[in-house]
Amino acid sequence: MNWSSMSEADLRRMADDAMADLDRERAKLGELGRLWNENTTVHAKDRSLSMTVDGRGELLEMAFTGGKYKTMPPAQLAHVIVETLGRAKAESMAKISEAMGDPAIPGIDVAGLASGKVDPMEMVNSLLGPMLDGFGGLEALGGTAGKPADNGRRKSDD
């Protein structure tokens, strides 16, 4: 894109559009914070147990209902536990994905952030890095993204 050939009005419109996209993403992140505090409870298909996960899909509680679990072979009980936990996590992540929708800014993986599978700094670097390359990158602006907090030294180096 040749920025010098664009009119001031075009540049202003592009900046306004970018800010509107950013505002929409901020609102989604606010909703994400609310969803993280919301719990989801799922019952096993045979009703032998229930599991409650938080908004990130982390197990908070597992409760056995009745005595059926006592008569189940260990492999069957293990299968019921794993299957129920998987459904609970999937339901929790589905709520996040539904609320977040498609990102207005390509490259933002809100569900990945919510589940902890995406490193926020890596995502920021991938989004801002190309834009800032013309300025010498994030480090030239005083950023520490991508650098360890200890400047690469091991504790034994001190």
The residue among 93, 139, 85, 89 whose CA lies nearest residue 114 is: 93
Quote the strand ranges of the chain, DSSP E.
40-43, 49-53, 59-64
Task: Please give the Cα distance from 116 to 39 (Å, whole number).
Answer: 17
* CA 117 to the chain's CA centroid: 7
Domains belonging to the chain, first-starting first, are 33-101 (3.30.1310.10), 102-144 (no CATH)
Q: pLDDT tens digits, the chain, 158 residues: what are they?
A: 666 777 888 888 888 888 888 888 788 777 777 888 889 999 999 999 999 999 888 999 999 998 999 999 999 999 999 999 999 999 988 888 787 776 656 666 666 766 667 777 777 777 666 666 655 555 555 555 444 444 444 444 44
Unique residue bearing structure tokens 């293990």:
78
Computed from CA positions of residues 20, 21, 22, 25, in that sequence, does the dihedral angle turn out positive or negative?
Answer: positive
Whole-number Å distance between alpha carbons of 77 and 64: 11
